[in-house]
Structure formats: C-alpha cells, structure tokens
Chain A
Amino acid sequence: MTKEDCQKLVIDIIADIAPDEDLSAIKPEIRLRDQLQLDSMDFLDIVMELRKRHGIEVPEADYSHLASLESCAEYLTPKFPTKA
C-alpha cells in the first residue's frame, strides 16, 4: 500500500458518501472541509467505511488526522497490513 493508493481509497469512500461532490480536482494538501461540503456526519461515515471496507479503526481522538488527503495517507497507510 503506497500513500497514493491510500489517497485513492479515501477518494473512493468520499465518492460513495458524497456523490454530489466534484472530486476531480481535490488538492491533497488542503483540508477536505475547505474544498468540499463535508460535515461531521460525513467524517463519521469516512471512519465507518474505513472500518467496514478495510478493517481499519480510527479512534475518535485521531479524527484530526483525516483533515486532508495527505494527512489521511500519512496516518492510514501504516495501518494497512504489508503484503508478505
């Protein structure tokens, strides 16, 4: 799992949660909230979908790591199991 792959997974999740948002030009370094109309309910869904699809747990205290695509990748990539 590279950080690029990880960003892609997060974008896939957002695309399902918020199909009415244009995700084609998201800047990875900028906060998602500043580019998209996402509220706390949507962020809860990102967390819940990460668990459902990839078995990854994000405790409430770590929600701030999900602010931008870059910070998501930084935080989440090590949580994916490395392939042998």
Chain B
Amino acid sequence: MSGLAAGIRLAHFGKKVCIFERHNATGGLNGFYSFAGRKYDVGLHALTNYVSPGVKGTPLGKLLRQLRIDRDEFALCPQKQSRIAFRDCALKFTNEFAVLDAEVVEKFPAQAAGWRALVQLVRTYDDVALDAQPRSAREVVSRHLTDPLLTDMIFCPVMYYGSAQERDMDFGQFVIMFKALYLEGFARPLDGVRVILRVLLEKFRQAGGERRMQCGVAQIKEVQGRAAQLVLDNGEEITAHQVISSVGFAETMNLCVPPQTQAAAANTGNLSFVETISVFRRQPAEWGWGDDTIIFFNDAERFEYVHAREQVDLRSGVICFPNNFDYAGRNLSEGIFRVTCLANYARWAQLPEEIYQADKQRWFPEVVRSAQRFLPVVAPEVLAAAQLATDMFTPRTIKKFTGHLNGAIYGSPRKIRDGRTHLANLYLCGTDQGFLGIVGAMLSGISMANYHVLQGSTRG
C-alpha cells in the first residue's frame, strides 16, 4: 500500500513509474483475499487516524490531499466504541478523545495531572520529523504516569497496533500511534480494505503508472554505491534512476548484491501474530457483542508485549468486530469475529504441514476462548450452531504471503525515518520507514516520494 501511494505521487508528476509485486494480489498486509467464496481483509481491523470531515491538519487530510482523493471515495464509517479491558479495569474510548480522558480521570484520579501533561506533550510533539532520534517511550511516559496499570493499559493498544519492538517503543512511534488511536480514531469502509485499494489502483492507473504482478524483485545490483540494476524473479533486468522498496529493511538488504546480510540480521523484527476469523450467520449484537468495535485485552499481572514463548501467547490480544462500525443503517450480511494474539514464528515455521494444520485446529478454539473472557457470555454450542466459516493466519502465513522475515508484522525494531540506505538511489518506504497503520503506510510512500524524488527535482 505504501508503494502504491508513492507510485501515485510520482506518476501524477510525470515520472515513469513501475511497481513490481511478487504476489498476485495488491496491498501487502493491507490487502484482502478470497477463500471459500468469501472475501477477507488480510490484517485490517480498522483504519486508524480517522477524523470527522472538516478536521484539518491531520494525517488523513494530508494523504487525501496529496493523492487527490475525495474523502467520500474511501466511504469511511466511524467506529462505535472500543475498550481496553484488563483483569480488573476497563477504559472505554471512542473517536471523541473526551471519552477516554474522562475514563482515565475517573478511574485513576491520582494520575489525572500526569495524564493531562502526557497528552499535552503528545499533541505538541513533532512525530513526523524525518531526522528524529529514537527515545524510549517507557522512559518518557514514566515521567508522567506512575501507576503501572494505567501505563500498561495505555501502551497495550499502541503496541498491538504498531510496535515492532518488545516491551518498549520509540517515543516518536508512540506519539504517532497515540494520536492515531486516541486523539483521532477508527473507521472502516463497509466493504473493507478493498474499497481503499480500488481507489488507489485507479488513481495510479489514471496517472499513467504501470504495475507488474507476480513479478517480484530478486536482486538489487550495486555498482559504485548505486542501485544500478534490478533483477526480477523471471530473470529480466530493469534499470531505474531511483528505487523505492516497500518490502522491509532487512528484506531489502537481503536482495542487495553484494549482500548486506549483517545489516539485515542486526535489524530484523520477531514480533508476530496469529489471528482467528470466525464467520457467523448472526450479528454479534444478538449476543450482546454489538457495542465494542475493538477490544484490547490482557489478563496477566503486567501487560507483556514480547516475543511469544509458546506458539501463541493467550494472555493478551485484540478482538475486532467489523460489524460494529456505524454503517448508517447498513451492515455486513454475516457476523465477523476476529481475534489477534502474539505468536512465535519459529514454532510455527518449522512444523511439517500435517502437524501445522493440526496445531491451527488446536489453537483456534483456545484463542477464541481466551478472547471470550472479555465478552458477555455466550454458550459454546450457540456459537458453534451459528458458525458458517473460519480462517486463521499464523506467522507462517504472514511470511509466505508478505515475505516479512520471521512473520514480523511491523517489521524491523529500528525504523529508518529518512528512508535512506547504503545505496544513494535506493530508499525505503512502508512500515520500516516508521509511519504506522494504513494511513501511515500511505503517508510513508508519499513522504519518501516527495523527499527523495520530487523535491530533489526542484533543487535548482
């Protein structure tokens, strides 16, 4: 998706652009797929950074302007409400920040002043500076929040929706996610991510961009410090003045000839997820599951966002009900219930196919049961009777379809904000450049196209 956004910018301004995609579908982790007659979004729970029409100066508005997209084309429908649900405490939040603010102040009165100071810091922090130096978010937040429960609760959604680092994250990344989730909010088109992809593909086509599907880049050949040539999977050789890679930092380094294996190994992510998808013939609201759009849950003493030791870490996770957006009287025809948990890549990757399938079968109900602890009770036989279909992705699925090493959803732990690499005309965009979420992905492509290609061409 970041690559498409970069491509739209460049093609719009007359650059000759070609996007090479190894997969037969577009969008990467923000894509969709068909399975047994149904269409599923790959990773998207919600578009973050949602603001109401008329709110200016936010990432969503910037990207719409930059890509010349009319806001209505995305057909975004806002969330109802979401929840951070821990063992003995829950915080509700919506697209109105005042709701979360009031919840925090009511449930953690002693933290109110620190909380407000943190919010003020986030609001004024320049989170998109391309030259920002990393700082520990835990350290910065601890200057304002001293209650470990509140700290964990605030970090839980922020980490689940964007941290490539265990336990901590860069404060700049924290600010991006805090704004995206709490100060702005969630929305979704009724038909999911394909609505957004369709708009992007059409813009790219109209601007004169070219796409080659099932045509991955196998090698980036270096000559005198520049990416001189791309070798495609089919052996074809391509030359370009500039190359923007959206496949990830380590993955890009591994394509380089001569290889950059040390650089790749030193900055490879290892945080991966499983996700279960249950499709029901009934709407979640019929079971009292109709209020929450997304629930971030944790049942451990402290919230630990870490590389899972077992195949799946059931202590915490994220529930998403795509039905529970405000679709203005319409809704999805089937009930959908998605649950995400942290997972261990190696423990899934090494399994023989038969055991792999059996383990998926085994973990599916465990994950669903774990999530149900945070929902009104519904008898298992009621759920089973209403179930039409299921699907599940594992770290192995992510590696297979996106090429992300270790199935690392959010890529490398250290982000390369300016997108530069060891080669003068090779740049990164997408998750490893460091803007997060689907809006972030698009803004990343836009920023890198502007900064390295378009702006450079105006330097007189």
Judged by a CB distance under 8 angstroms, whether A60 is at the interface is yes
Given contacts A20-B61, A47-B458, A59-B460, contact A41 B13 (CB under 8 A): no
The answer to whether B460 touches A44 (Cβ under 8 A) is: no
The answer to whether A41 touches B450 (Cβ under 8 A) is: yes
**B-contact 0/1 string along A44-73, CB 8 Å cutoff:** 110110011000011111100000000000
**A-contact 0/1 string along B10-22, CB 8 Å cutoff:** 0001100000000
Bound Cα distance from A48 to B453, whole angstroms: 12
The answer to whether A16 touches B68 (Cβ under 8 A) is: yes
Which chain B residues (1-57) contact chain A, with CB distance < 8 Å? 13-14, 54, 56-57
The answer to whether B460 touches A57 (Cβ under 8 A) is: yes
| Contacting residues, chain A, for B54 (C-beta < 8 A) | 20
A-B contact count (CB 8 A): 47
A73 to chain B, nearest CB (A): 20
Given contacts A16-B68, A18-B65, A52-B13, contact A37 B458 (CB under 8 A): no
Judged by a CB distance under 8 angstroms, whether B70 is at the interface is yes
Judged by a CB distance under 8 angstroms, whether B333 is at the interface is no
Given contacts A20-B56, A37-B57, A52-B14, contact A60 B460 (CB under 8 A): yes
**B-contact 0/1 string along A6-42, CB 8 Å cutoff:** 0000000000111110000000000000000101011
Residues of A contacting B: mostly: helix
The answer to whether A58 touches B458 (Cβ under 8 A) is: yes
**Of A44, A52, A57, A62, which is within 8 A of B450 by CB?**
A44
The answer to whether B14 touches A44 (Cβ under 8 A) is: no
Task: Please tell me the number of chain B residues within 8 Å of chain A, measured between CB atoms.
Answer: 19
The answer to whether B13 touches A59 (Cβ under 8 A) is: no
The answer to whether B66 touches A60 (Cβ under 8 A) is: no
The answer to whether B13 touches A19 (Cβ under 8 A) is: no
B386 to chain A, nearest CB (A): 43
* Chain B residue at minimum C-beta to C-beta distance from A58: B458
Bound Cα distance from A32 to B134, whole angstroms: 34
The answer to whether B68 touches A48 (Cβ under 8 A) is: no
| Contacting residues, chain B, for A19 (C-beta < 8 A) | 65, 70
**Of A17, A37, A62, which is within 8 A of B56 by CB?**
A37
A49 to chain B, nearest CB (A): 8
The answer to whether A45 touches B460 (Cβ under 8 A) is: no
B74 to chain A, nearest CB (A): 14
* Chain B residue at minimum C-beta to C-beta distance from A19: B70
* Chain A residue at minimum C-beta to C-beta distance from B446: A41
**Of B446, B455, B460, which is within 8 A of A61 by CB?**
B460
Give me 7 other A-B pairs in contact (C-beta within 8 A), A41-B450, A62-B460 excluded.
Answer: A19-B70, A20-B71, A39-B57, A42-B65, A44-B455, A48-B458, A60-B458
Residues of A within 8 A of B (CB): 16-20, 37, 39, 41-42, 44-45, 47-48, 51-52, 57-62
Residues of B within 8 A of A (CB): 13-14, 54, 56-57, 61-62, 65-66, 68, 70-71, 446, 450, 454-455, 458-460
What would be 18 A-B contacts, judged by CB atoms less than 8 Å apart? A17-B65, A18-B65, A20-B61, A37-B57, A39-B62, A41-B62, A41-B446, A41-B450, A44-B458, A48-B454, A48-B458, A51-B458, A52-B14, A58-B458, A60-B455, A60-B458, A60-B459, A61-B460
